[in-house]
Structure formats: C-alpha cells, structure tokens
C-alpha cells in the first residue's frame, strides 16, 4: 500500500479526468431535459422516462464495472485501460446525444433519446467507476486521501463550470435566447467543446497515473462471485447508512439541477444567461474555494461532523430561501448561492469517508474491493439521478407546465418555487440525518489502518 506523500502533479493529473466527466454530467443534467421537451418537442413524461431508464442502466452497471476493474490484470494496470476507453466513448456519445435528427413521431423521439443517452451512460460507467476507485488506491494516509478527493472535487467543479456556463454563453452570443435555431446551435457547439475536454482530460489522467495503478501487495482481489460480492457489500453495516444518506442527498442535487432553469425563468423571470453567469457561476466559484476550508476542517476535527453540518445547513437554506425570492431580482439568489457554495463543499468529505469504509472491509475480509464499493457508490448516485429526473418530468406535467407557452401563471411559478425550495431541501436534510447513524468513527478507522499496516508488514517479512 502506498504510504509516502503523493507528488503534487500526480494529484492534479488524477483529478483532471473529472473535468470532462462532470462536464458531461452537468451539461446533460441541466440542459438535456429542457432541450428535448422544448426544442425536440418530446412529451415531458416520456423524456423523464427515457432519461430515467438510461440512468438506471448506468446505475446497475456500475458495481459490475467496479468488479471487472478489480479483477483486471494488464500491463496498463487495473483502472487506467478503462479511463482511456471510457473517455473515447464518452466524447463520441455526447456528440450524438445533442445532435438529434428531425423525427416527427413521439415514439421516434423517445427511442432516439433513450438509445443515445444509454450510450452516454454506458461510457460514463466505463470511465468513472475505475477513476474514482483509483483515487482510493493512490494513498493509504487519511489526510492525503482527503487531499486527493479535494483535487478531484476541484476539477469536478471546473467541469461543472464548463458544462453549465459554455451553453449559456454561446446562446447569449448568438442573440435571441428564445429562438429555436440559436438554442440548437448553442447545444451542438457546446457538445463539441465538452467532447474535446473529456477526450483530453482522460488522456492526461491515463498517462500521469502510469506508475500509480497497482494493486495492494498486502491484499488480494475478491475471490467471490460477483453476486456474492454484492451481497457481502450490502451486508456491510458500516457502508449501508453512508450509501443511503448519500443517495437521498443526491436525489436533492439532481432534482435541483433538473428544475433550476425552469424555476429561475418562470418564477423569477430571469434569462438563462443571467442565471448561469450571475448566479450559478458565483456559486461554483465559492464551492471551489470552499474545498480548502473543508479539507482543513476534516484534518482538525474529523470527517463525520463537518459532513453532517454542511449538508444539513444546505438543506435548511434551500427550504427557507427559494420560495421567498422576489420576481426579477438577482441579488437575493446570489447571496444564497454564496452560502450554498460554502455548505456544498462538504460533499468532498463523503468520497473520502468511503475510502475509510473500504479499509474497514479489507480488515474484516482480507480482500481489496475498491472497485466494487465505488461501483456501488456510483450506482447509488445514478439511481438517485434517475429518481430525481423522473420526479421532475412527472411534476412538470402534474402542475400543468406548457412547454409551448412563453409565459406561465403565477400559480405555476409558486409551484416551481415549492418544488425547487422545500422539495429539494427535504432530501438534503433527510440525507444528513440518516448520515448521523454512520458508525465508523475517526478513532476506529485509525485503529483499522494500524492493523492493516501490521498485516502488510507481516506478509512482507518485516
């Protein structure tokens, strides 16, 4: 196991792939549903179903991909071959997703969205699960791990900025933001930029981590069948509350992303470019800067309490603030975006805590199963995304949202505020409360690591 400090360049090179991965995720989460409903003219419920099916497939395939990478033996390592392959496939599939042909029938539009988004999510699984598992293997030291995942979140936020801001900036440059031809052009151009970034970032990570993709010599990959391995992971009483809490909180994040443009446009009367540049961009900048703060806090007081308070306060803020904003005002949501960016930075601690759970599992079983655990972790994210997207599509239909209308009633705006505020915040608060039941304390994990070090020394003959 790697115990020496990681090179600064290795941390950066590892995290860089997350730029492209997150750019694709955010680009699709924010713009895809609205694009297919308002431009392609696909029924909102059908669009929600297509996206949900694709994401559910992505979720189911994540643990399988983790298990495959755990068992892989190649001259390129266990994880790196999939980072390269997944990056290439993802760069191609995102181009197809945002370049739909002219299809007249609702069934044809539904099938095109379903198949192309299935391709995107399959490629996402191939790259993202081995990539996050590799992050847990780069170092054994607790604070170094927090730093590694801090850099991963940093580059994730860069990708978030790219996937969020580039489409809005291009649309603003083209002029009339309501013109369908301008929307189509902005989304097509944005998909080309995102495609290039995912290709380059995956290549950089592939080459920079060349010497770091090695299995732990003191442990062995799981000898259990895939389905028996799944059973033992789900039976891990330490992992389960962490997974459930994270899944519930991520439903809130997905719900937030999918409904955001609708809320700001039809509740507050703001243009897409104003929202993205003047509200969401500052939010992400604050989120990026807050990473240093959360890494420092985790080193000083441990991981559990900061993670709980960050997510809990984010939920409370969301519930209270968003229904109260006045129409046409940017300043109030900007202030809340500043506070929300600080609280949301605590999410990086959750990924770091998962590496502690992998250590606990190795102590209990003697097997190294990062890929399987991170596969389940990603599966939880995808299931929560599927649920969040499906809820969004059905709720838009339920409240009577008309995609062909340029204006919506005041009642519609209020309903969007309730969904975007208390509806989203509920999931953050519930997830944080469940996280309180996570039983692996910092002291217990330090004892586990001490045992693992002794076990390695004994096997190595020292």
Q: HSE of 364 in the Cβ direction (CA atoms, 13 Å)?
A: 15
Q: How many domains does the chain have?
A: 1
220 phi/psi in degrees, rounded to 5? -130, 150
Q: HSE of 109 in the Cβ direction (CA atoms, 13 Å)?
A: 21
Q: Alpha helix (H) ranges present in 276-346?
A: 281-301, 304-321, 331-344
Domain that holds residue 159: 10-207+225-460
Q: Cα separation of 135 and 370, whole Å?
A: 9
The answer to the question of residue 100 being in a domain is yes
Q: Cα separation of 315 and 88, whole Å?
A: 37
Quote the pLDDT of residue 229.
63
The answer to the question of residue 5 being in a domain is no
DSSP, res 219: S
Quote the pLDDT of residue 116.
95
The answer to the question of residue 300 being in a domain is yes
The answer to the question of residue 215 being in a domain is no
The pLDDT profile of the chain, 462 residues, written as one tens digit per residue, is 445 567 888 888 888 999 999 999 889 877 888 889 888 989 888 888 888 888 778 777 877 887 788 788 888 888 889 999 999 999 999 999 999 988 889 999 999 999 999 999 899 989 988 888 887 777 767 677 777 877 887 888 889 888 888 988 898 888 887 788 899 999 999 999 999 999 999 999 999 888 776 655 444 455 555 566 667 777 778 888 888 888 888 888 877 777 887 888 888 888 877 887 888 888 878 887 887 888 888 888 888 888 899 999 999 999 999 998 988 888 899 999 899 889 988 877 777 788 888 888 888 877 777 777 877 777 777 777 777 777 777 787 787 776 666 666 677 888 888 888 898 899 999 999 999 888 888 888 888 888 888 887 776 655
The answer to the question of residue 1 being in a domain is no
SS3 sequence, 246-279? HHHHHHHHHHHHHHHHHHHHHCCCCCHHHHHHHH
The answer to the question of residue 443 being in a domain is yes
Quote the pLDDT of residue 432.
92
- pTM for this structure? 0.67
Supply the CATH number for residue 248's domain.
1.20.1250.20
The answer to the question of residue 31 being in a domain is yes
Angle, in degrees to the nearest 10, between helices 304-321 and 424-435: 160
CA distances from 197 to 31, 90, 340, 457 (A): 18, 11, 27, 42
The answer to the question of residue 390 being in a domain is yes
């Amino acid at each position: 196991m790697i115990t020496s400090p990681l090179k600064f360049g290795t941390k950066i090179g590892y995290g860089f792939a997350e730029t492209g991965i997150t750019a694709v995720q955010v680009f699709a989460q924010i713009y895809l549903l609205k694009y297919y409903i308002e431009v392609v003219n696909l029924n909102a419920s059908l669009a929600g179903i297509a996206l949900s099916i694709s994401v559910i497939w992505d979720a189911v395939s994540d643990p399988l991909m983790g298990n495959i990478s755990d068992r892989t033996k190649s001259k390129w390592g266990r994880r790196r071959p999939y980072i390269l392959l997944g990056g290439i496939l993802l760069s191609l599939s995102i181009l197809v997703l945002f370049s739909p042909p002219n299809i007249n029938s609702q069934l044809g539009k539904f099938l095109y969205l379903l198949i192309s988004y299935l391709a995107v999510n399959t490629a996402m699984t191939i790259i993202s699960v081995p990539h996050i598992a590799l992050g847990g293997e780069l170092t054994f030291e607790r604070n170094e791990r927090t730093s590694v995942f801090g850099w991963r979140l940093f580059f994730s936020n860069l990708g978030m900025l790219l996937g969020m801001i580039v489409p809005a900036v291009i649309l603003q440059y083209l002029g009339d933001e309501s013109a369908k031809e301008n929307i189509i052009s902005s989304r097509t151009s944005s998909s080309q930029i995102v495609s290039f970034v995912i290709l380059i970032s995956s290549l950089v990570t592939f080459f920079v981590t060349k010497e770091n993709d090695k299995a732990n010599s003191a442990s062995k990959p799981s000898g259990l069948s895939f389905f028996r391995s799944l059973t033992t992971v789900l039976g891990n009483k330490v992992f389960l509350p962490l997974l459930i809490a994270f899944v519930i909180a991520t439903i809130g994040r997905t719900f937030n992303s999918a409904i955001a443009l609708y809320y700001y446009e039809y509740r507050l009367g703001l243009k897409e470019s104003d929202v993205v540049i003047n509200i969401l961009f500052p939010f992400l900048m604050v989120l990026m800067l807050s990473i240093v703060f959360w890494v420092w806090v985790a080193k000083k007081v441990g991981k559990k309490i900061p993670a709980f308070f960050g997510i809990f306060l984010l939920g409370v803020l969301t519930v209270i603030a968003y229904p109260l904003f006045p129409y046409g005002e940017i300043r109030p949501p900007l202030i809340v975006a500043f506070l929300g960016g600080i609280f949301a930075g605590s999410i990086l601690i959750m990924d770091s805590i998962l590496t502690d759970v992998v250590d606990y599992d190795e102590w209990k079983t003697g097997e190294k199963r990062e890929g399987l655990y991170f596969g389940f972790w990603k599966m939880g994210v995808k299931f929560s995304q599927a649920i969040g997207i499906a809820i969004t599509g059905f709720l838009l239909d339920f409240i009577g949202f008309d995609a062909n209308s340029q204006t919506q009633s005041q009642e519609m705006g209020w309903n969007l505020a309730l969904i975007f505020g208390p509806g989203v915040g509920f999931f953050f608060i519930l997830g944080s409360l469940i996280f309180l039941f996570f039983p692996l304390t910092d002291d217990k994990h330090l004892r586990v690591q001490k045992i693992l070090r002794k076990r390695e020394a004994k096997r190595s003959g020292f």
